[in-house]
């Protein structure tokens, strides 16, 4: 009986704080020359990791990360779902996430989207990418603490850890946001 009441409460929150449509997020447009420079740095970093040579940290700005999310085929799953910014040591994002990914019997997530903004903890551990919200706001208001708590246990990058390109995460030592940039360090550096 308690589980039914809790599920009912969460389904009420889902109906109240989510939408039936995704929202269009801002887009970052880099010039052809800027994008080429970013891709050259990403490819050089990737090549250094593949050959186990000394890879200098890869440093990216929010606009560069957004351009990569829009253009890289291996990141297509996340296209249109995140618009990232880095503020000091924090990762912020506007989001439009399909909740179909949350599979829990009794939750009515099918066809629902979490549209809003938030602050996220992003890390790499044991070869997997982890993205957890630390604060979420939808429809101009913070979501209730009990709803936030349920999302804080859902790795929003679960699907990124499946598929053909996941071996790259095992080669990364750390992700860190510092000075409003993302710093990616390869293992062994």
Note the pLDDT tens digit of each residue in 113-166: 989 999 998 888 888 888 888 998 998 889 888 778 877 887 877 777 776 666
* C-alpha pair distances (Å), 30 with each of 17, 41, 46, 106, 129: 33, 15, 21, 43, 26
Alpha-carbon distance of 163 to 165, in angstroms, equals: 6
Supply φ then ψ for residue 116, to 5 degrees.
175, -150
Element (H, E) at 119: strand 113-125
- The residue range of the domain holding 14 is 2-186
With H, G, I as helix, E, B as strand and everything else as coil, classify residue 12.
helix
pLDDT reported for residue 163: 65
pLDDT reported for residue 32: 93
pLDDT reported for residue 171: 85
pLDDT reported for residue 29: 85
- For 26-82, the pLDDT digits (tens) are 988 899 999 999 999 999 998 888 887 888 999 999 999 999 988 887 777 778 888
**Measuring CA to CA, which residue among 116, 120, 129 is closest to residue 87?**
120
DSSP state of 22: -
147 touches 126 (CB < 8 A): no
Supply φ then ψ for residue 46, to 5 degrees.
-65, -45
Structurally, the chain folds into a number of domains equal to: 1
**DSSP assignment string, 74-113:** GGGGGTTTEEEEEETTEEEEEEEEEGGG---TT---TT-E
pLDDT score of 1 more than 70: no
pLDDT reported for residue 166: 60
Element (H, E) at 186: strand 181-186
With H, G, I as helix, E, B as strand and everything else as coil, classify residue 133.
strand
* Partners of 83 in the β-ladder: 94
pTM, entire model: 0.82
């Amino acid at each position: 009986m308690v589980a039914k009441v809790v599920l009912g409460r969460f389904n009420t929150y889902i109906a109240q704080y989510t939408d039936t449509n995704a929202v269009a997020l801002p887009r970052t447009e880099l010039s052809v020359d800027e994008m080429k420079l970013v891709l050259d740095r990403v490819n050089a970093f990737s090549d250094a990791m593949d050959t186990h040579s000394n890879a200098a940290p890869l440093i990216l700005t929010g606009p560069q990360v957004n351009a990569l999310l829009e253009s890289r085929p291996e990141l297509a799953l996340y296209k249109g779902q995140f618009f990232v910014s880095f503020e000091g040591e924090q990762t912020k994002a506007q989001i439009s996430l399909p909740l179909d990914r949350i599979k829990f019997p009794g939750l009515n997530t099918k066809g629902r989207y979490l549209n809003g903004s938030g602050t996220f903890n992003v890390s790499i551990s044991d070869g997997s990418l982890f993205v957890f919200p630390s604060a979420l706001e939808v429809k101009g208001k913070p979501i209730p603490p009990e709803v936030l708590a349920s999302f804080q246990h859902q790795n929003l990058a679960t699907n990124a850890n499946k598929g053909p390109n996941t071996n790259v995460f095992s080669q990364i030592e750390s992700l860190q946001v510092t000075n409003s940039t993302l710093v990616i360090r390869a293992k062994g550096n």
